[in-house]
Structure 1
Amino acid sequence: MRTWLLALAVLGCGDEKSSDAAADTDADTDADTDADTDGGSCTAVTPGAWVADGTCFGMEMEGTLTVSAADACAFTFSDWNMQMSVPLGGTVSGDEVTLTGDGWTSCTGTTDGTTLTGTCTDGCAFDMAFGG
């Protein structure tokens, strides 16, 4: 009888990780049930053709937004249809955007993934939208 109880006791002890993974009900991708708070989350911006306008641009312009393969919270602009003062890219933290490039580092705003809107410290405004 003791042997039987010992066998049941040993078999009943499983790897906590595997039993936790089976009960994983949170939205993260690891095998636990806590909410991850790694601090690195951002609203994903949509790559592709974008249209930019607002007083910072002076006229409607088109460019291509590419999301960084190394950091999904960073993006670059290329292939602008005008070669005026245009942002080189930007970074996203949460839904807050900071643009990069000569004359654009003081420009901040927000994104919902398909729009970028904000202002620069000189008072101009920018509006950008995913164009498909």
Structure 2
Amino acid sequence: MTLDPRLHHLLHEVTLGSAVARSLGIRLDRILDNGVVLAMPFKPATISFADVIHGGTIATLIDIAAASAFVAGAHPTLKGGATTNMTVHFLAAARSTDLFAEASVVRRGRVQTVTDVAVTTPAGQLIAKGIVTNQGFS
């Protein structure tokens, strides 16, 4: 999928280029027809207890994945956006592992997008599910 240059800038320089995304090492794995897949390498600094990655780190990955899917399919006049709602269900502990977040747009409206995000390990174990609503502004 080829992105409009403006959306490419928003995706790579603003969303994935944010300080939090960079500090977590989050990168674009691939753009899908209706979403994106992001990858986040394991970092010992994200552990909350024993070898378990902190839930806030996983929620941040979900938020950035949904925002990336929102931007990747947006109208080229998009100037920015914000997360207006996010629900996360933690399903298993992520233990010292890299993570992937596959974000699929469920509904894209005129100004809002609802995205389903699945966080998995490289082996395919489902760690968390999120539903995120993003609001755009032009």
TM-score normalised over the length of structure 1: 0.30
- Please state which structure has a larger fraction of its residues in helix: 2
- Please state which structure has a larger fraction of its residues in strand: 2
Is the radius of gyration larger for structure 1 or structure 2?
1
TM-score normalised over the length of structure 2: 0.29
Instruction: Tell me: higher relative CO, structure 1 or 2? Use CA pairs within 8 A at least 6 residues apart.
Output: 2
